[in-house]
Chains A and B, each alone.
Chain A
Amino acid sequence: MTTTNEQQPLLEVSGLKTHFFTEDGVVKAVDGVDFYIEPGEILGLVGESGCGKSVTVLSVMRLVGVPGKIVSGEVIFEGRDLRELSDNEMQSVRGNRISMIFQQPQSSLNPVFTIGDQLNEVYQIHENLDKKEATAHSIELLRMVGIPDPEQRVNSYPHELSGGQAQRVMIAMALAIHPGLVIADEPTTALDVTIQAQILDLMRDLRSQTGTAIILITHDLGVIAETADRVAVMYAGQIVEQTNVSGIFERPLHPYTQGLINSIPVLGELKDKLDIIEGNVPNLINLPPGCRFAPRCRPRKEYDLTICSESIPDIRPAGIDHSVRCWLYHDKNQHQAPLSLSQISPQW
């Protein structure tokens, strides 16, 4: 997997597979995921519900519970493979070098402890501060994320906060020990649109101030456009395309990505029908043998490609800082695109 910079990426995930062993069968939620993120970068991880984005990042944090299990892959963070750490070592990474914030901020906070207690806990776990010192830090954290009157707020309970405030608290908790990476799993999906904008602004500002990298998971392409530096697109447990944010909008290569971009309604554009991607996501227990998007792929149908239903393509470079998992762009032995780009995507 080539990267644009010569310095090592902050996090590099290769060949990650996380399967769930259920009564009904093995659910291959993450089945071969490769991506990387540079220090200080904001990487957007995009995909529909159920495509495996959350499981991917939970696997990075090693927070996947039974019946799930990380079956294979490497998760190299700051030079170490996280999969090889002991439980204790992993615990000292979590909240400290990598933090995570979640979709429902209010239920992500423990209702019976004050937010001060919960913020302090991070300091108590990782820096062994006593209550007084920790509280002082926590108050500053709250100020940093824009919570008014933080000295009073430390004694509030989570149910006394609004959704936006709760998410700010979660962000504060995530940034307490200056992690290198923050994973944000759909942080704004549950919030009002105006609050959403505020939270995203906050996250961008904090990134500038602290240099923390962010993996931002979302299904909203608008959020990606505003906030991300680079983007990885996931479908049915695999990354299908990875590039910088302008590339994804101006030159989407994978038919799925193209479908996503196409289906965004554009203000001012008149259409009779919205463009949709026909069909449904595959059942993750009974996956088709070839490319997972093949049943719904328009170019495959148009060009009558059989290889798509027979084997899964690898993810390969297809331009500067742009990789894609699609038979349209390379065949089994070459790195070259078998079809020229203009042939496949005439509108670009």
Chain B
Amino acid sequence: MTKSETLDKHQDLTAETTTSRSPESMSAVVWRRFRRHPGAVAGAIVLSIIVIAVLLAPLSPYDPVKSDIKNRYQAPSIEHPFGTDGLGRDLLTRVLYGGRVSLFVGVMVVIITSIIGIPTGMVAGYFGGWVDNILMRILDAALALPTLLVLILLSAILREADVPYLKSNSVMTIAIVIGILSWMTVARLVRAIFLSLRETEYVTAARALGASTFVIMVAEILPNGFGPIIVEATLGIGYAIMIESGLSFLGFGIMPPTPSWGNLLSNAQSHLIEYPWLAIFPGLMIFLTIIAINYIGDGLRDALDPYKVFSKIKE
């Protein structure tokens, strides 16, 4: 080999010794890592199927509310894959409509908790001092009450109150009520992030460059929190669905005739043994939805924060 060929060959070797990839966008990286989790991917598929199915609910030939006594308590069959309920209504249709309600509540609750919780956490974490103190006292007071019990109480009270908007919009009401009692976790998370990052050097640098407080908070620090916030929001949907179902099951959530997975289960109790499908299917939907969401959340957590930087900040 000539000298230049030798040198060329060794330059190749040198090049290989450095690990350089062409730069990938952040979302591509996250997606790649997410894809590595079979559970998360399966969860995403299952959830998509469920969402599409409930969106297609209006395509059902059956009415979810009108009764058809002739056909009551039919076991699952080809015409009624999930059977029929005590009023002869097709259960699959009711389950799909119920899914719309439950999913809506889930997403709405997360939106509400984010609207309340994120700014609260930001302000408490960034400013510290007495502001933090007061906000945290409020948070502690909200946490000092047993959540489920207060939800039941609030629901009972609102039911008696003749507020016209709330009465006709029990779905939104429930979402608001649950949201008001669930913002604390997000707030704590965001506060922890802001507390730990406000003294970092790039924040000081931004301040030195004259950036206003608001800009620093939103543009510099908050983006660091997107990962954990998104994970928390995802899991929050599952949590909200669980709570709503529970409340509806108890009779303090979504009121009939509007179907929700929870109140479908409640209806199933009286004839549980004779007509078990009434209980099996709605509960199964809750289970599948939540487990899919949990797997997705887990996958997102690893995709967005593989080195678990933020889980250590949480405390």
Contacts and interface: CB of A to CB of B under 8 A. Distances in A.
Contacts of B7: 301
B16 A283 contact: yes
Contacts of A282: 13, 17
Given A280-B18, A283-B19, A295 B3 contact: no
A280 B10 contact: no
Nearest to B15: A295
Contacts of B10: 294-295, 301, 309
A309 B14 CA distance: 12
A296 interface: yes
A295 B1 contact: no
B198 to A, nearest CB: 25
A252 to B, nearest CB: 22
Contacts of A281: 17
Contact of A286 (B1, B3, B14, B16): B16
Contacts of A306: 1, 6
Interface string B1-44: 10100110110011011110000000000000000000000000
B224 to A, nearest CB: 26
A279 interface: yes
A309 B16 contact: no
Contacts of B13: 282, 288, 294-295, 309
B6 A295 contact: no
A283 B9 contact: no
A288 B9 CA distance: 11
A304 B3 contact: yes
Interface in A215-269: none
B204 to A, nearest CB: 25
Contacts of B19: 283
Interface in A140-199: none
A271 B150 CA distance: 76
A36 B13 CA distance: 32
A309 B17 contact: no
A280 B11 CA distance: 12
Contacts of A279: 14, 17
A288 B15 CA distance: 12
Nearest to A278: B14
Contact of A309 (B3, B9, B18): B9
A295 B9 CA distance: 9
A294 B6 CA distance: 11
A281 to B, nearest CB: 7
Contacts of B6: 301, 304, 306, 309
Nearest to B11: A295
| Residue among A294, A295, A304 facing the most chain B CB atoms (10 A cut-off) | A295
Contacts of B17: 279-283, 288, 295
Contacts of A288: 13, 16-17
Interface in B170-222: none
A290 to B, nearest CB: 9
A301 B4 CA distance: 10
A64 B6 CA distance: 39
Nearest to A301: B7
A238 B14 CA distance: 19
B16 A296 contact: no
Contacts of B16: 283, 286, 288
Contacts of A295: 10, 13-14, 17
Interface string A6-43: 00000000000000000000000000000000000000
Interface in A284-313: 286, 288, 294-296, 301, 304, 306, 309
A309 to B, nearest CB: 7
Given A279-B14, A309-B9, 13 more contacts: A282-B17, A283-B16, A283-B17, A295-B10, A295-B13, A295-B14, A295-B17, A296-B14, A301-B6, A301-B7, A304-B3, A306-B1, A309-B6
